[in-house]
Structure 1
Amino acid sequence: MVEFTLAIPTYNRAKYLPIILERLRSQVDLENLSWEIIIIDNNSTDDTADVIHSYQAKWDLNCSLNYFLEPEQGVTFARLRAVREAKGQLIAFLDDDNLPAPNWVKEAVNFAQEHPQAGAFGGQIHGAFEVKPPENIERIQGLLAIRERGDKANLYDPINLSLPPGAALVFRKQAWDESIPNKLIFKGRLGKLKVAGDDFELLLHLHKAGWEIWYNPNMHTYHQIPHWRLEKDYLITLARGCGLSIYQLRLINASNWQEPIIFIKIFLNNFRRVLKHIIKYRNKLNNDIVARAEMEFYLSSMLSPFYSLILAM
């Protein structure tokens, strides 16, 4: 019986895959673990398939390396395919630009054993920046899937959308099967708006079903962040995509009668945040990338109820 499945959804990132596969070859203390690695190629047009097939031909690790093509575009479809193909009782997702520490798999398995009510858990994700990031990047590092919540394990707070990112995230397959529907709202960062919410949606369904969501400080991952992900236009697009998902995410754990209340609260709370931000940074918004990204997130969050109404038309 396979205990642990490590799934890597990927799209046109062939040059990154050898790096992460070598990291996985270097995982320690797994002699007694039955595990597998699966690559979900989300309709790539580069040589992703060739890279994986080349590795398969010379693979000598004590786990299988499997490749699956998922032609339906979007990380949600890649994750759903991974779950269908996975044989493990635990399913871990690593983004193709996330490099795990040598003990990442071991610490994930240990944590799951120690926390049987954990439906999902993430660890520490550190930024591995190609260039020096903008000043005060820590204010928006969550947009870049960076999580550093200290050295003690703690519960996330789904009610307030305090949740781990989908990168470097471990699910208990039982929790997934019992809680997460096959048809989901968010498909991944597709189209011009790059609307996010796909990872939080999964976790909110787990929470709704009564599972706990944890932070495991002993799992360390390093997110490779190239220079272009720190440019103003990219960060603004990222912030906008996260903000536009807020209203729909809030509705997942809400009753029908609460919808108009949530609509009003999101609009008014973020309207207040926008005004405060303008007053505080009114002379810096054109030049301060971090402040500008924050402003975009507040504006998009404020507009997210109306965005949801447009989608429903």
Structure 2
Amino acid sequence: MKFTVAICTYNGQDRIPEVLDGLQQQTNPEGIEWEVVVVDNNSSDRTAEVVSQYSKNWRGDSQLRYVFEATQGAGYARQRAIQEAKSDLIGFLDDDNLPKENWLVEAYRFGQEHPQAGVYGGIIHPKLDVPLPPYFNKIKSLLAINNPGSQPFRYQRNDKPRKVPAGAGCVVRQQAWKERVPKQLQLQGRDEKNKKTLLIGNEETEAFFYIQNSDWEIWHNPAMEIWHHLPSKRLEKEYLLKLSRGFGLANHKLRMVRLYPWQRPLMILLTPLYLLSDGYKLASYYLRYRHEFDSDLTKACELQARIGRFMSPFVRA
């Protein structure tokens, strides 16, 4: 098996058909032997039945498998996908990610051309059901919309601010993950069933930082393109404010992961300084824009992110 596409889903019976249709339409001029693994994260809907129906008429150059992961949380589903994959290269698609028809072959080619790449991501376009709101460009990173450019490049560990690709549409090398990523991450992502959104979306960042702290490389591959389907509810104020707070609350744990193991004990001494710095920035931001939070959604989101960052040292996994 040369490539695995892993789709982690919770109650995705209405979303996952569009993703599977996109995979059915993938070009494969090189005859790559590949598989699709759907990891059902404790769904209560007809996700299993939908995948079963697709498997009866699945394409001949690929396999479609269904796996049930009972432990709730996006991080657990991703770990299960790593364990189940039969290939070293694993491309992750969320159940609302629609791949361009050449996504598979471009993902495979890049992995062959860059054997030291432990992770690489691509371009993520928005697919909206409503007109693009005027504030969208300022909050799109919250929704995993990302276009780092048309040229490939390597993410450097010493970049400031330090960056890694978004998890949606990225490819992970199984060997790198198993060598560098702990089986139990501190951030486990969103628990859809229990509506926990405080640490949403950061489990991939934590895992990628572990990989980046090693000899493995992390890259941007612009030839890999996907569309992130965003329903209108994800553009609502309440959802975006919770999302912003959640990213802020993950900040302290990500600070720890960015450090080498020998550096982490120093965080005990540095945490009070971070609290003072984050508290000052929060107070300054509030005082500067306190009359605009009701009318300016982007400033309200930034306030929630700053509150989360200030509180993050006190958050327990």
- Measured at CA, do residues 187 and 87 of structure 1 come closer, stay the same or move farther in structure 2, by a change above 3 Å? same
DSSP-derived class of the 1:171 partner? strand
Task: Indicate whether 1:260 and 2:280 are aligned.
Answer: no
TM-score by length of 1: 0.92
- Contact kept, 8 Å, 2:157 with 2:213, in 1: the verdict is no
Measured against aligned partners, the alpha-carbon deviations of 1:183-205 in whole angstroms (never above 9, x if no partner) come to 21122213545313211111011
Bigger mean CA deviation after superposition, 182-191 or 296-305: 182-191
Unpaired segments of 5 or more residues in structure 2? none
| Cα distance, 1:135 vs structure 2 | 2.2
| Cα distance, 1:272 vs structure 2 | 4.1
| Cα distance, 1:207 vs structure 2 | 1.2
- Measured at CA, do residues 266 and 154 of structure 1 come closer, stay the same or move farther in structure 2, by a change above 3 Å? farther
- Contact kept, 8 Å, 2:198 with 2:249, in 1: the verdict is no
Q: Write out aligned runs for 1:101-250 (5 A).
A: 101-158=100-157, 160-190=161-191, 191-196=195-200, 197-250=202-255
- Work out the CA distance in 1 between the residues paired with 2:152 and 2:296: 34
Q: Write out aligned runs for 1:20-59 (5 A).
A: 20-59=19-58
- Measured at CA, do residues 273 and 134 of structure 1 come closer, stay the same or move farther in structure 2, by a change above 3 Å? farther
CA RMSD of aligned residues (A): 1.8
DSSP-derived class of the 2:52 partner? helix
- Contact kept, 8 Å, 1:140 with 1:294, in 2: the verdict is no
Measured against aligned partners, the alpha-carbon deviations of 1:37-77 in whole angstroms (never above 9, x if no partner) come to 11001111010001000111122341000011111111111
- Work out the CA distance in 2 between the residues paired with 1:276 and 1:135: 26
Bigger mean CA deviation after superposition, 293-302 or 261-270: 261-270
Measured against aligned partners, the alpha-carbon deviations of 1:237-293 in whole angstroms (never above 9, x if no partner) come to 101111101101111243233203542453344334334433553332112111111
Moved over 2 A (4+): 132-137, 155-161, 190-194, 264-283
* Match 2:286 to one of 278, 281, 287: 278
- Contact kept, 8 Å, 1:266 with 1:301, in 2: the verdict is no
- Contact kept, 8 Å, 1:133 with 1:230, in 2: the verdict is no
| Cα distance, 1:174 vs structure 2 | 1.4
Measured against aligned partners, the alpha-carbon deviations of 1:142-180 in whole angstroms (never above 9, x if no partner) come to 110111111111222455341222111101111112111
- Measured at CA, do residues 265 and 101 of structure 1 come closer, stay the same or move farther in structure 2, by a change above 3 Å? farther
- Work out the CA distance in 2 between the residues paired with 1:270 and 1:27: 46
DSSP-derived class of the 2:119 partner? strand
Bigger mean CA deviation after superposition, 33-42 or 191-200: 191-200
What one-letter code is carried by the residue in structure 2 that aligns with 1:183? Q
* Partner in structure 2 of residue 89 of structure 1: 88
What one-letter code is carried by the residue in structure 2 that aligns with 1:287? S
Unpaired segments of 5 or more residues in structure 1? none
What one-letter code is carried by the residue in structure 2 that aligns with 1:271? G
DSSP-derived class of the 2:299 partner? helix
- Measured at CA, do residues 280 and 133 of structure 1 come closer, stay the same or move farther in structure 2, by a change above 3 Å? farther
- The count of aligned residue pairs is 308
Task: Indicate whether 1:296 and 2:304 are aligned.
Answer: yes
- Work out the CA distance in 2 between the residues paired with 1:103 and 1:270: 44
Bigger mean CA deviation after superposition, 286-295 or 257-266: 257-266
- Measured at CA, do residues 305 and 214 of structure 1 come closer, stay the same or move farther in structure 2, by a change above 3 Å? same
DSSP-derived class of the 1:140 partner? helix
- Contact kept, 8 Å, 1:239 with 1:294, in 2: the verdict is yes
- Work out the CA distance in 2 between the residues paired with 1:244 and 1:21: 34
- Contact kept, 8 Å, 1:247 with 1:262, in 2: the verdict is no
State the identity %: 38
